[in-house]
Structure 1
Amino acid sequence: MKKIFVYILLLFSCSVTAQQHYIAPTDSLVIKKLSQWQDWKFGLLMHWGTYSQWGVVESWSICPEDEGWTQRDSIHGKTYNEYKKNYEALQTTFNPVNFNPDKWAAAAQDAGMKYVVFTTKHHDGFCMFDTKQTDYKITSTKTPFSTNKKSNVAKEVFNAFRKQGMATGAYFSKPDWHTNNYWWPYFPPKDRNVNYDPKKYPQRWNAFKEFTYNQIKELMSEYGKMDILWLDGGWVRPKYTIDTAIDWQRTIKDEQDIDMPKIAAMARKYQPGLLVVDRSVGYEYENYVTPEQQVPSSIFPFPYPWETCMTMANSWSYVPHDKYKSTNELIHTLVKVVGSGGNLLLNVGPDPNGEWDTAAYTRLREIGEWMKINGEAIYNTTQADLPIYNAVYFTQKKDTSAVYILKLIKENDQSLMNGVMFEITDLYKNKFKHIQILGTKIILPIKRYQVDKGVFNMKIEINDGNAIKELRHAAVFKLIK
C-alpha cells in the first residue's frame, strides 16, 4: 500500500511540475487549432530512415552513451568510429522501392486516424526531405532512391495523407549528430549533447542555429499546409528551462538555445495557427505535452493538452520480427488515453523497402472496425468528470448533451454478464434515463443506488447474451434522455 501511495504522489508531483512550466497559447489561430487537434484524438507517427536497413533503433546507436537503447552490434563496426562511418554510409544503399504512401494513408484513414506526424529528420541528421542545407538526405545523388520520382519522401507522405483528409505534422530533430556545427570533429562526442561550449565558440553555434532555422523554414514554406511542428531532442534548449528533478536533463551542461521565438514566428508566418510542440521544454513553445510510451494517471489528469505517443510494436523504428501489441491492447490504450483527456499518437516503423509489416495493417483495420461503431464516444469529446474504476472510462460531448461509458473488455471476457457498475453525480443523474449500447438497438433502463449525498451508484444490466458476445475490446454505452 505504501508503494502505491508513493507512486501516486510521484505522478502528482510530475503533473504539478509540468503544469508550472506550461504556458497556454494566446494567438487566437493557435487556440483554435489546438481545440481542433483535441477533437481529433487519434493520429499516426512514423519513424523512418536509413537505420531501417540494419533494423536497429533509430539514431541512438551512434550516440556514445552507455544505455540499453544505444548499444552497437560489432557486426557493423568493432570500434565506435568504424560503426559511425558504416552507419552514415547507409545513405549509399537506401533504396525503398516499394514506398507507397497512398497505401499507408488509406490504412490510417480507415482506422479512424485524423492526423500524421512524420520524421523529416531524426537525431542522426539524415533528412527524409529535399533540404538545401546538407547533402545527407534521401534526394542526394549519393542515395540510390534519389532517382525515384517519389524521392522527396516527406512531401509524398504529407500529400498522400492530406488527400485522405488528414492533418499533417513534421517531426524534426533539433540536435543533428551529422553536422559539424553540432558534433564538431575537433572534439569527440561524449554524449547526446553538443560537444563544444557554444558560449566559447559562438560563431559555430550561430552557424548551427542558422542551419536549423533554414531547414525548418524549408519544411514550413515548401511542403504544403502544415498543422504541427513536432520538435524532438529536448536537450537542445535554453538553460533556464532545465528541470533538475529529471535525470536526463541534469546531463545538459551547456546553453543550447536555438532561438525558438524566432523559429516559431517564422513558422507561423508561413503556417498561421501552427501548433508548435517543443517536447519536454515547456513554456510557450510546447502547445501540448507528449508523454512517451505511457498513459498518464487518470487519478491526477493533466490540466493542459496532452498526447501519448506510443509504439504499435516494441520499437519506434523497424526491427525484424518485432512483436506487435494486440488489437485489444491498442484499443484499450486508446480508450484509456481519451477517457483521461488526451490524444493517442500511434507509431509504425516502415521497413527498408518502404513497406509496413502486415501486422500493422491488420491492427489498423481491426481498430477501424471498432471505431466505425464507437467513434462517437472518441471524437469531439472531453473527459467526463466521473471517477474511473473497474476498467470503466467516461467521455462526453463538450456541451454534455451525451455521455459515454466505455467498459474495457479482455479477450474472451464474460464479465459483462454481471452488468457494469459505475458512479454518477447530481450533474448527470436526472438528465439521463436510459442507456443505449452502441452497435446495437438495445436500450436499457438505468438502476440507481444512492451511496452518498449527491453520489449514486448505477448499474447496467444486459440480459441479451448474444449482444454481449458481439461486444469486443471495449463496450460503449451512451446515456440518453
Structure 2
Amino acid sequence: MNLKNLFFSILFSTSAITVNAQAHNVSAGYEKPTDPQVLKNLEEWQDMKFGLFMHWGTYSQWGIVESWSLCPEDEDWTQRKPEHGATYYEYVQNYKNLQKTFNPTQFDPSKWAKAAKAAGMKYVVFTTKHHDGFAMFDTKESDYKITSPNTPFSIHPKANITKEIFNAFRSDNFKIGAYFSKPDWNTEYYWWSYFPPKDRNVNYDPTKYPDRWQKYKDYTFNQINELTSEYGKVDILWLDGGWVRPFSTIDPSVEWQRTIKVEQDIDMDRIGTMARSNQPGIIVVDRTVPGKWENYVTPEQSVPDHTLDIPWESCITMGNSFSYVPNDNYKSSKKIIETLIKIISRGGNYLLNIAPGPNGDFDQVAYDRLKDISSWMDKNESAVFASRAIAPYHEEDYYYTKSKDSKLIHVFHTTESKNSYLKPKSGYNFSIPDGISIKTIKLLGSNEKIKWTQKDGKIFIKDLNASPDYAAVFQLTVK
C-alpha cells in the first residue's frame, strides 16, 4: 500500500463527533522511524493497547471546551457564553483571570494512577499546555502557569502538576506522554497584540516578521526542552496544533488545512533532535504533519474502518467533551469495552480521555466506569495486551486478535446494538482464520469445558452455561 498517495477513510464509530473534536484524516506519507531505540519504544507502546488521556486546565472552572473559546472562529466548539464577557476582549481577559482562582485542592494523581492501572491502562498522556498557553508545569518561559504566584494552587506542595502526575504514574510503571500545544495563544510571539487574532493561526506573517517568529520558535523549543529534561523519563512527546507546520506540508484536500495561509515552520528537526538527545528513544507524535516526526497517527473521536499497516491510536473521550463539563454524558462501560475491542482488532491503541474537574478530581462516574472495565479486564487481559490484528479482523459480531507469537487466536463476541451483553440464542459460530488449525478452545474467565465443532472453516459452540459481562472472549490454541 502506497501511503504517500492514499488517505485512509475513517468510520466514525463513537456515538457522536463532539463539539471539540477536530476530526482529521489519518496522515499520508508516514515514514517509519529508523532509530533502534525509537522502534523498541514504539513496539512496547503498541503492546500496551490502552492508555489514559487527560485534558485539564483553568478552563475546567467554567466547564467549557478547552481553549477554543479564545479562538475568533465561528464554530460549534468555539462558542462563548455571554455571562463570561460581553465583548471578545472582555471575555479573553476574564478567561485569563481564571488563573487567579484555579485551586484544585483535591488533586491526587496517585488515585488516578491506581484506578487507571486496575482498568488495564498502561500509559498516560497529559496536557502540559493547551492552545491557551497556560502551562501546567513550572516553565521559565512564561508566568502564565500553574506555579505562578498569580495562581492560588502555587503554594500547594504538589503545585507542579505535570511533575506530580508523571511521578505518580511512572511509579506504577506507566509510559509517560507529554501533550504539548505547538500554537500558544497567550504569547506575543504567536498572537501579537499589534494585530487582532483572526483565527487559530499565527496573526502575523512570519516571513514579514522573521525575528518575532524566531522568538516563538525559541520559546517553543525551550519549553519542550524543559519538559524533556527536567521531568524524569518521558516516553512520548504528543504535539498538537497541526496548523503550526511548514506551508509545503499542507494538504488542500483536508478542509481545516486550507485555512492555513502563512508559513508556520517551527523547525521540528531542531525540536525532535533535542527531545531525542534528552530522552533517547522518545516517540514523537507531530499530529497530522507527515514525515519523520509523526511516529504514530492519531485519529480523533473515531476508529478507522479497517486495519492500518502503520502504528496508530484513537483518542476518544469518555464523556462528550475532552475537557471537564458538569454532568457530562459518559459512555457506558459496555461501549468503552466494545470500542477497545474494535480498536485492537484493527491493530491500534485506545487513548481514553477523562477530564479532571476544577476541584482536582474525576467525577465519580469515571471511577465507576474504570472499575467496571477492571472487572472485565481481570478475566480477559491476555487477549488484549501484546496482541496483533489477524484476518478476518471483524465479521458480524465477532472481532479477532492474535498473540505476537501467533500461538493463540482470540475471538471477541460483542452485542453493540444491545444495552447489555446477551449470548446468541443459536450459540456462537465464527470463522477460523485461513490456514489455522485449532487444538483447544476456552472461554476466558470461565472454567467451563467448551463443547465445540468445526465445519467448513467455522467453529460452532452451543450450550454454553457461562454468562460473560460486556463481551465474550474465546481463546483458541493453534496446533
For each residue in 1:260-295, what CA deviation from the matched residue of structure 2 results, as whole angstroms up to 9, or x when unmatched? 011011001110000000011121101000000111
Q: 1:311 aligns to what?
A: 317
Give distance in 1, aligned partners of 2:386 and 2:56. 30
Q: 2:167 aligns to what?
A: 159
Give distance in 1, aligned partners of 2:113 and 2:80. 33
Q: Which runs of 4+ in 1 moved over 4 A?
A: 8-12
Paired residue type of 1:476: V
2:370 is equivalent to residue 384 of structure 1:
no
Q: Which of 214, 217, 220 does residue 222 from structure 2 map onto?
A: 214
Q: 1:477 aligns to what?
A: 474
Q: 2:458 aligns to what?
A: 457
Q: 1:130 aligns to what?
A: 138
Paired residue type of 1:424: I
Question: How much does 1:445 deviate?
Answer: 4.5
Question: How much does 1:18 deviate?
Answer: 4.6
Return the structure number with greater helix share: 1
The 8 Å contact of residues 446 and 458 in structure 1, kept in 2 or not, is answered as: yes
The 8 Å contact of residues 19 and 303 in structure 1, kept in 2 or not, is answered as: no
Give distance in 1, aligned partners of 2:27 and 2:125. 25
Paired residue type of 2:55: H
Q: 1:48 aligns to what?
A: 56
Give distance in 2, aligned partners of 1:464 and 1:96. 50
SS at match of 1:281: coil
Paired residue type of 1:363: R
Q: Is the alpha carbon distance of 1:338 and 1:475 closer, same or farther for their aligned partners in structure 2, counting shifts above 3 Å?
A: same
What is the 5 A alignment of 1:157-306? 157-298=165-306, 301-306=307-312
The 8 Å contact of residues 18 and 282 in structure 1, kept in 2 or not, is answered as: no
Question: How much does 1:116 deviate?
Answer: 0.4
Q: Is the alpha carbon distance of 1:252 and 1:9 closer, same or farther for their aligned partners in structure 2, counting shifts above 3 Å?
A: closer
For each residue in 1:6-43, what CA deviation from the matched residue of structure 2 results, as whole angstroms up to 9, or x when unmatched? xx99549xxxx856410000000000100000000000
Paired residue type of 1:86: N
SS at match of 2:145: coil
Question: How much does 1:425 deviate?
Answer: 3.9
Paired residue type of 1:349: A
The 8 Å contact of residues 9 and 304 in structure 2, kept in 1 or not, is answered as: no
The 8 Å contact of residues 334 and 344 in structure 1, kept in 2 or not, is answered as: yes
Question: How much does 1:72 deviate?
Answer: 0.1
Question: How much does 1:448 deviate?
Answer: 2.5
Give distance in 1, aligned partners of 2:199 and 2:224. 24
Question: How much does 1:472 deviate?
Answer: 1.1
Paired residue type of 1:457: K
Q: Is the alpha carbon distance of 1:64 and 1:19 closer, same or farther for their aligned partners in structure 2, counting shifts above 3 Å?
A: closer
The 8 Å contact of residues 45 and 347 in structure 1, kept in 2 or not, is answered as: yes
Paired residue type of 1:359: V
Q: 2:120 aligns to what?
A: 112
The 8 Å contact of residues 414 and 421 in structure 2, kept in 1 or not, is answered as: no
The 8 Å contact of residues 9 and 305 in structure 2, kept in 1 or not, is answered as: no
The 8 Å contact of residues 182 and 205 in structure 1, kept in 2 or not, is answered as: yes
2:101 is equivalent to residue 93 of structure 1:
yes
The 8 Å contact of residues 84 and 94 in structure 2, kept in 1 or not, is answered as: yes
Q: 1:333 aligns to what?
A: 339
Give distance in 2, aligned partners of 1:414 and 1:141. 56
Q: Gaps spanning 5+ residues in structure 1: where?
A: 1-7, 451-455
Paired residue type of 1:464: L
For each residue in 1:380-436, what CA deviation from the matched residue of structure 2 results, as whole angstroms up to 9, or x when unmatched? 1101122412121101011111010011134444343322222224421x2x13310
CA RMSD, 1 decimal: 1.5
Give distance in 1, aligned partners of 2:374 and 2:443. 18
Q: Is the alpha carbon distance of 1:292 and 1:107 closer, same or farther for their aligned partners in structure 2, counting shifts above 3 Å?
A: same
Give distance in 2, aligned partners of 1:85 and 1:159. 33
Give distance in 2, aligned partners of 1:249 and 1:439. 47
Q: Is the alpha carbon distance of 1:400 and 1:148 closer, same or farther for their aligned partners in structure 2, counting shifts above 3 Å?
A: same
SS at match of 1:277: strand
Q: Is the alpha carbon distance of 1:19 and 1:103 closer, same or farther for their aligned partners in structure 2, counting shifts above 3 Å?
A: closer
The 8 Å contact of residues 433 and 446 in structure 1, kept in 2 or not, is answered as: no
Paired residue type of 1:355: D
Paired residue type of 2:352: L
The 8 Å contact of residues 97 and 353 in structure 1, kept in 2 or not, is answered as: yes
Give distance in 2, aligned partners of 1:10 and 1:149. 47
The 8 Å contact of residues 349 and 356 in structure 1, kept in 2 or not, is answered as: yes
Give distance in 1, aligned partners of 2:278 and 2:460. 53
Q: 2:69 aligns to what?
A: 61
SS at match of 2:350: strand
Question: How much does 1:446 deviate?
Answer: 3.7
Paired residue type of 1:320: P
Question: How much does 1:355 deviate?
Answer: 1.0
Paired residue type of 1:373: K
Q: Which of 339, 361, 365 does residue 359 from structure 1 map onto?
A: 365
Give distance in 1, aligned partners of 2:27 and 2:429. 33
Q: 2:407 aligns to what?
A: 401
Q: 2:378 aligns to what?
A: 372
Question: How much does 1:181 deviate?
Answer: 0.5
TM-score (norm 1): 0.93
The 8 Å contact of residues 421 and 459 in structure 1, kept in 2 or not, is answered as: yes
Q: Is the alpha carbon distance of 1:78 and 1:56 closer, same or farther for their aligned partners in structure 2, counting shifts above 3 Å?
A: same
Q: 1:83 aligns to what?
A: 91
The share of aligned pairs that are identical, in percent, is 55
Give distance in 1, aligned partners of 2:433 and 2:141. 58
Paired residue type of 1:346: L
**Higher deviation after alignment, 102-111 or 17-26:** 17-26
Give distance in 2, aligned partners of 1:223 and 1:9. 36
SS at match of 1:168: strand
Give distance in 1, aligned partners of 2:275 and 2:155. 30
For each residue in 1:113-150, what CA deviation from the matched residue of structure 2 results, as whole angstroms up to 9, or x when unmatched? 00000000000000000000000001001111111110
Q: 1:345 aligns to what?
A: 351
For each residue in 1:158-185, what CA deviation from the matched residue of structure 2 results, as whole angstroms up to 9, or x when unmatched? 0000111111000000000000000000
Paired residue type of 1:417: K
The 8 Å contact of residues 180 and 237 in structure 2, kept in 1 or not, is answered as: yes
